[in-house]
Structure 1
Amino acid sequence: MKLLLLGIGNVLFADEGIGVHFLHYMEENYRFSHPLHSLTLLDGGTLAQGLTPIISQFDEMLLVDTVNAAGANPGQVYFFDFDKAPAEIDWQGSAHEVEMLQTLTMMEMLGDRPKTWVLGVTPTRLEPMRLGLSPELLSVVPLMEEVVLKHLRSLGFEVERRQHRPIEELIPSAWQGQIPIHENS
């Protein structure tokens, strides 16, 4: 089996980038192995339909992104089979979220979509040119990590923790709004 862990999102819109940031966090901190299966980690950014030829090569995919959910609190984590999405998931969030839904639906119609799992979190802050994550989303990273690791272990993957770098360290300081200002004297 070929498994894809795909993080998508727009890192220029604060919490909208959780999928991408989380993917880099997992890639930096863990090593995964399986005697028969392969795992690929991919930063999909906001490509959606542009990812179709890549996604279609896999048997199973775990998609990490923000999700909109009626009545959900900011930072609420969802993990579900794409074919059995909870009723409160409305897929009407950002442009890339809607485009990703359309991409997965189109791939299903063509018979190219792999078995798809979604790890989604409801965003707190979607601000243009606000890089980094809100405290609410930072606080749910351990839960997201636990969900992914449990899923991968259920598929027989060995998980090795290589280091303990927090996700905040993996977001470049320019993205955190900490660009030094040099004044002319």
Structure 2
Amino acid sequence: MKVLVLGIGNVMFSDEGVGVHFNEMIKRNYKFTHEINSLEFVDGGTLAIALTPIIAEFDYLIVVDCISADESSIGDVYFFDYEAMPNQISWDGSAHEVEMLQTLQLMDLAGDMPKTKILGVVPKRIEPMSFELSSEIQASVKVMEKTLLKHLEELGFSYEKISNLNIIDLANEYKNKGI
């Protein structure tokens, strides 16, 4: 089985970039192994619909992105099957060009969508443009990390911690690059 962890978000809009930063943090902090299955981490940025040929190559997809949820607080973390999305969850109001939800819906209609899980976090909407992550998102990263690592273990992956970068280190890398 080919597994893809796909980080989605716009790093120039603060918490909106958490999916990209989180994905990179996990990729650089851990080494994953499995006897037969493969695991890849991809920075999907705001590409959405352009990601369809990449996503279609995989058997299993974990999307890491910002979400909205009724009666939620900033930093709340949700993990669910795409096919069983809770009613209070939506992917609206983000800074993405085309929403990831619409991309998945189109792939589902075309019959090209792998089994999909969503690891979502409720962002703080910050204006104007900023590379900084809110304290709420910084705190939620620990829950997201435990959730993803536990799920990858359930899929049969072993892991070893090889670095200790935090999400702020990675957000600052983008800031220092002057994107």
**TM-score of the two chains, using structure 2 as the length reference:** 0.94
AA aligned to 1:112 is D
Report what 2:147 is aligned to: 147
Report what 2:170 is aligned to: 170
8 A contact 2:14–2:131 mirrored in 1: yes
Report what 1:182 is aligned to: none
8 A contact 1:9–1:16 mirrored in 2: yes
Report what 2:69 is aligned to: 69
Report what 1:104 is aligned to: 104
Secondary structure, aligned partner of 2:78: strand
* Corresponding pairs, count: 177
Report what 1:8 is aligned to: 8
Report what 2:17 is aligned to: 17
State the distance in 1 between where 2:67 and 2:103 align. Answer: 15
Deviations 1:80-136 (A, max 9, x none): 001001110122221528621111001001100000000000001332321121000
Q: 1:56-135 maps to which residues of 2 (within 5 A)?
A: 56-96=56-96, 99-135=99-135
CA-atom RMSD, angstroms? 1.6
Larger-gyration structure (1/2): 1
8 A contact 2:48–2:98 mirrored in 1: no
State the distance in 2 between where 1:168 and 1:34 align. Answer: 29
Q: Mark the runs of 5 or more structure 2 residues left unpaired by the alignment.
A: none
Q: 1:17-56 maps to which residues of 2 (within 5 A)?
A: 17-56=17-56
Which deviates more, 161-170 or 16-25?
Answer: 161-170
State the distance in 1 between where 2:102 and 2:69 align. Answer: 18
State the distance in 1 between where 2:14 and 2:147 align. Answer: 22
When residues 95 and 166 of structure 1 are mapped into structure 2, their CA distance, relative to the original with a 3 A threshold, is closer
**TM-score of the two chains, using structure 1 as the length reference:** 0.91
Q: Mark the runs of 5 or more structure 1 residues left unpaired by the alignment.
A: 180-185
Q: Quote how far apart the aligned CAs of 1:148 are.
A: 0.3
8 A contact 1:3–1:58 mirrored in 2: yes
